[in-house]
């Protein structure tokens, strides 16, 4: 069993007996605490389990079946982050946040503030877990550029300063806009530091078994760096 925020995840073997035991545990919880499990908000799914077998388990627990990819806490789980379609949701949210009508009513300083804050919510989880494709980074830059240099009309855009200058810190004459390539690599590198420093964590044991420790994960981040550049 794993708990995250107000969510609880139960894991068991793909057998009728295990599913009935899980059902009994949930029933005992209801009797002991006087609370009711909301099965309409609960899902059942299988990992490397035949879909027909999962369809047998679902009526026992009285839950719907969940299929990958699915959204969990705003992040897509089970999708292929190496495909452009995986990032479409993030890009659409950025386009809606940095849309033309907002830019027409904001000053240059207001546009810069909005651009800086656009990675402070949902996209932050994506870039801290997945390596961004070079095409995605390019599209993010394009959205930012259009929003920053647009003045009243989509046909009137003049980039007065090169974008790498805009991303420099203010003490160097830039506007302090975050470079998404470096930002993505920094967040991915954080996991290497945590893997090296944390001693007892379930996720650490999983990474050790899959990649062979922090050196294997470091090579994954190195490959991500090469793909970005």
User: CA–CA separation, 37 vs 30, rounded Å?
Assistant: 7
Query: Taking the chain (229 residues) in consecutive chunks of 10 residues, what is each chunk's mean pLDDT?
Result: 78 89 91 88 85 88 84 76 88 84 78 80 77 90 84 61 86 86 86 80 79 61 55
Q: What was the pLDDT predicted at 17?
A: 92
Q: What was the pLDDT predicted at 120?
A: 62
Nearest to 29 by CA among 8, 59, 58, 54: 8
User: CA–CA separation, 129 vs 51, rounded Å?
Assistant: 28
User: CA–CA separation, 102 vs 22, rounded Å?
Assistant: 51
The owner of tokens 């949902």 is 122
Write the DSSP symbol of residue 162.
-
The owner of tokens 């806490």 is 73
Q: How many CB atoms lie under 10 A from the CB of residue 23?
A: 15
**What residues form DSSP beta bridges with 160?**
none
Greatest C-alpha distance within the chain:
68
The region that residue 202 occupies, defined by phi over 0 for left and psi between -120 and 50 for alpha, beta otherwise, is alpha
Nearest to 142 by CA among 157, 130, 123, 129: 157
- How far, CA to CA in Å, does 99 sit from each of 92, 115, 149, 191? 10, 11, 12, 33
- How far, CA to CA in Å, does 5 sit from each of 53, 73, 89? 30, 10, 23
Residue 71: φ, ψ to 5°:
-100, 130
């Amino acid at each position: 069993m794993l708990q995250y925020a107000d969510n609880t995840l139960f894991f068991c073997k793909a057998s009728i007996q295990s599913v009935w035991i899980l059902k009994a545990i949930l029933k005992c919880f209801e009797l002991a605490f006087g609370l009711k499990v909301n099965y309409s908000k609960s899902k059942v799914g299988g990992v490397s389990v035949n879909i027909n077998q999962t369809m047998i388990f679902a009526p026992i627990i009285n839950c719907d079946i969940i299929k990958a990819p699915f959204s969990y806490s705003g992040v897509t789980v089970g999708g292929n982050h190496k495909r452009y379609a995986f990032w479409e949701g993030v890009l659409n949210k950025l386009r809606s946040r940095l849309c033309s009508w907002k830019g027409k009513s904001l000053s240059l300083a207001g546009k810069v503030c909005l651009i800086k804050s656009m990675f402070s919510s949902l996209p932050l989880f994506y870039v801290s877990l997945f390596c961004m494709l070079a095409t995605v980074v390019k599209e993010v830059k394009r959205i930012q550029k259009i929003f920053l240099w647009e003045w009243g009309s989509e046909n009137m855009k003049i980039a007065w300063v090169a974008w790498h200058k805009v991303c420099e810190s203010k003490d160097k004459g830039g506007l302090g806009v975050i470079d998404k390539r470096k930002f993505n690599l920094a967040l991915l590198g954080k996991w290497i530091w945590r893997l090296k420093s944390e001693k007892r964590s379930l996720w650490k044991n999983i990474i050790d078994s899959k990649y062979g420790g922090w050196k294997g994960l470091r090579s994954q981040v190195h490959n991500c760096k090469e793909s970005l550049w």
